[in-house]
Amino acid sequence: MGDIVKQPGRLRPAPENFLSEEQVKAVGSGRRDFLRKSFLVAGAALAAPKLVRAAEGDPNILENPAWTTSLGLPVATNPYGMPSKFESQLLRRESPGLARVGGASVSFAPLQGLFGIITPSGLHFERHHQGWHDIDPSKHRLMVNGSDDSLLKKAKVYTLDELMRLPSVSRIHFIECGANTGLEWGNVAVPTVQYTHGMLSCSEFTGVPLKVLLEDCGVDYKKARYVLAEGADGSSMTRTIPMEMVESGEVFVAYGQNGEMLRPENGYPLRLVVPGVQGVSWVKWLRRIEVGDKPYATKDEAVHYIDLLPSGQHRQYSSIQEAKSVITTPSGGQTLLDKGFFNVSGLAWSGRGRIKQVDVSFDGGINWKTARIEGPVQNKALTRFNVDWVWDGSPAILQSRAMDETGFVQPTYGQLRKVRGTKSIYHNNAIQSWKVIESGEVSNVQVL
Partner 1 sequence: MFRFSKTILVFALFSASTAAFAFDKYQGVGRPATPAEVKAWDIDVRPDFKGLPKGSGSVERGNEVFEEKCASCHGSFGESNEVFTPLAGGTTKDDIKTGNVKGLSSGELPQRTTFTKVATISTVFDYIQRAMPWTAPKSLKADEVYAILAYLLNLQEIVPADFTLSDKNIADVQKLLPNRNGMTTDHGMWPGAPAKKGGIGNGGKPDTANKVCMKNCKPEVQIGSTLPDYARTAHGELRDQNRSFGPVRGTQTLGPEAAKKAADAGTLDLATKSGCMACHGMKSKIVGPGYSEVVARYKDQTDAESRLIAKVKAGGQGVWGSIPMPPNGHLKDEDITTLVKWILSGSK
Our finding on whether 157 is near partner 1 (CB under 8 A) is yes
Our finding on whether 236 is near partner 1 (CB under 8 A) is yes
Q: Which of 121, 308, 379, 386 binds partner 1 (CB under 8 A)?
A: 308
Q: Which of 126, 176, 265, 290 binds partner 1 (CB under 8 A)?
A: 290
Provide the 3-class DSSP secondary structure of residue 421.
Answer: coil
409 to 428, contacts with partner 1 by CB under 8 A?
A: 409-416, 419-420, 427
Nearer residue to partner 1 within complex by CB, 254 or 436? 436
Beta bridge partners of 144: 156, 289
Nearer residue to partner 1 within complex by CB, 3 or 56? 3
Choices 116-124, 169-177, 184-192, 263-271; region in contact with partner 1 by CB under 8 A: 184-192
Count of residues engaged in binding partner 1, rule: CB under 8 A: 143
Q: Which of 43, 207, 267, 276 binds partner 1 (CB under 8 A)?
A: 276
Choices 59-67, 169-177, 207-215, 255-263; region in contact with partner 1 by CB under 8 A: 207-215
The answer to whether residues 39 and 54 touch, using CB atoms and an 8 Å cutoff, is yes
Where helices occur in 164-209 by DSSP H, the ranges are: 193-197
The answer to whether residues 124 and 203 touch, using CB atoms and an 8 Å cutoff, is yes
Nearer residue to partner 1 within complex by CB, 172 or 213? 213
**CB atoms closer than 10 angstroms to residue 75:** 6
116 to 145, contacts with partner 1 by CB under 8 A?
A: 129-131, 143-145
Nearer residue to partner 1 within complex by CB, 118 or 309? 309
Nearer residue to partner 1 within complex by CB, 63 or 247? 247
Our finding on whether 303 is near partner 1 (CB under 8 A) is yes
Using omega within 30 degrees of 0 as the cis cutoff, is the peptide bond preceding 79 cis?
no
Q: Which of 294, 375, 376, 390 binds partner 1 (CB under 8 A)?
A: 294
351 to 370, contacts with partner 1 by CB under 8 A?
A: 351-352, 357, 359, 363-370
Distance CA 66, CA 41 (A): 22
**CB atoms closer than 10 angstroms to residue 34:** 18
Taking the complex as a whole, the smallest distance from the CB of residue 62 to partner 1 amounts, in Å, to 20
The answer to whether residues 229 and 298 touch, using CB atoms and an 8 Å cutoff, is no
Provide the 3-class DSSP secondary structure of residue 294.
Answer: coil
The answer to whether residues 120 and 252 touch, using CB atoms and an 8 Å cutoff, is no
Nearer residue to partner 1 within complex by CB, 20 or 259? 20
Our finding on whether 83 is near partner 1 (CB under 8 A) is no
Q: Which of 35, 228, 254, 273 binds partner 1 (CB under 8 A)?
A: 228
49 to 78, contacts with partner 1 by CB under 8 A?
A: none
Residue type, 234: G
Taking the complex as a whole, the smallest distance from the CB of residue 76 to partner 1 amounts, in Å, to 26
What lies within 8 Å, CB to CB, of 355 at 6+ separation is 323, 325, 348, 349, 373, 377, 383, 402, 403, 404, 405
Distance CA 280, CA 262 (A): 16
Our finding on whether 339 is near partner 1 (CB under 8 A) is no
Our finding on whether 337 is near partner 1 (CB under 8 A) is yes
Our finding on whether 2 is near partner 1 (CB under 8 A) is yes
Distance CA 202, CA 191 (A): 23
Our finding on whether 191 is near partner 1 (CB under 8 A) is yes
What lies within 8 Å, CB to CB, of 299 at 6+ separation is 238
Taking the complex as a whole, the smallest distance from the CB of residue 369 to partner 1 amounts, in Å, to 8
Nearer residue to partner 1 within complex by CB, 26 or 166? 166
303-310 long-range contacts (CB < 8 A, ≥24 apart) are 305/178, 305/179, 305/278, 305/280, 305/426, 306/426, 307/420, 307/424, 307/425, 307/426, 307/427, 308/421, 308/423, 308/424, 308/425, 309/420, 309/421, 309/424, 310/420, 310/421, 310/423
Q: Which of 335, 378, 383, 400 binds partner 1 (CB under 8 A)?
A: 335
